[in-house]
Amino acid sequence: MNQPEIVKIESIQNETDSIKTITFFYKLETIPGQFFMIWIPGIDEIPMSVSNINNDNKAITFRVVGDATKSLFNLKKHDLIGIRGPYGNGFSFHGNHHLFIGGGTGIAMIAPAVESCLLRDEPVDVILGAKTKDELFFIKRLQKTDANVHIATDDGSKGYKGYTSKLTEKIIKEKQIDTIYTCGPELMMKSIFEICIKNNISLQASLERYMKCAVGICGQCCIGEGLRVCIEGPIFSDKQLLDISDFGVFNRNASGKKKNIQP
């Protein structure tokens, strides 16, 4: 039933100064790219992607940006939170050579996707990008796998100096990439989308919109011609994105009012 199931926090891991992973016991089958609604009793309920799937243990990894994420950050082991979901479509892997691109907190949901894709025994490259090296996380976790891990920072403090999109252009020249999977700031994903269209690479991008019901009725998260990010998304293909005029242009806040996100 779509109502919060109360779970105890099993463990908490610090990833950076402002990013933590919270692990809890939650049975329902979940695939990478799906998300939960996390109820912090008395505070808020917010969408969070699954960042680790280990049988009945699931995790979320989040950055502090406001009140809800701050309260989540301050919770202790054994504190109670409510979980409903998983929601949304999740990734579906296509092609032979896969490239994953996580920007900022987007890395959180890209990591389990990489791990799951590797089960196909096909070549996987992954770009982890952030403004600066202190904001990177999950590097060790992914370096332990068979994926080729590339790092990009805007300031060059670690790895390639520059945007993940620039590094993407470099990698697709060297390797025959069939599909790109990405989650990160929308403008980053828009640049990657343009690269994919130009180079005929298929794309799956994970979009974020303000969410309330997460079950497809309140209309809060609708984009394009009535696509619900909570149901038909959050992962959209290059073909779908071509018809979503909002992509990289605007989102809507809690009132439904449009907010320009163009540079």
Partner 1 sequence: MVSLTTCINNLELKNPFILASGIMDEDAGSMKRILQEDAAAVVTKSIGLHERNGHSNPTFLELEHGLLNAMGLPNPGIDSYGSEIKKINNDNGKIIGSIFGSNVEEFEILSEKMQNYGVNALELNLSCPHAKGYGLEIGQDPEEINKIVRAVKQSVSIPIFVKLSPNVNDICMLAKAAEQGGADAIVAINTVKAMKIDIETKRPILANKIGGYSGKAIKPIGIRNVYEIFEAIKIPIIGVGGITKGEDVIEYIMAGASAVQVGSGIYYNGIQIFTQLKEQVIKWMTQNNYQNIKELIGVAHK
**Interface positions with partner 1 (CB under 8 A):** 1-4, 6, 37, 39, 41-42, 44-46, 80, 82, 84, 212-220, 222-228, 252-258
Q: Which does 49 bind (CB under 5 to 8 A by kind): ligand FMN, ligand FES, ligand FAD, none?
A: ligand FAD
- Count of residues binding ligand FAD (CB under 6 A)? 24
Token pair listed for 219: 């209309």
Q: Which does 234 bind (CB under 5 to 8 A by kind): partner 1, ligand FMN, ligand FAD, none?
A: ligand FAD
Token pair listed for 86: 């998983």
Binding mask 191-230 for ligand FES (x = CB under 6 A): --------------------xxxx-xxxxxx------x-x
Q: Rg of the Cα trace of the chain? A: 18
Tell me how far, at minimum, the Cβ of 212 lies from ligand FMN, in Å.
Answer: 8
Number of Cβ within 10 Å of residue 154's Cβ equals 14
Nearest CB to ligand FAD, comparing residues 89 and 172? 89
- Count of residues binding ligand FMN (CB under 6 A)? 2
Distance between CA atoms of 111 and 50, rounded to whole angstroms? 10
Residues 188-217 that bind ligand FMN (CB under 6 A): 217
Q: Which does 224 bind (CB under 5 to 8 A by kind): ligand FES, partner 1, ligand FMN, none?
A: partner 1
Judged by CB under 6 A, the residue of 64, 187, 197, 218 near ligand FMN is 218
- Counting contacts by CB under 6 A, is residue 2 touching ligand FMN? no
Nearest CB to partner 1, comparing residues 226 and 263? 226
Nearest CB to ligand FAD, comparing residues 117 and 229? 229
Contact set with ligand FAD (CB under 6 A): 35, 44, 46-49, 51, 60-63, 65-69, 105, 108-109, 208-211, 234
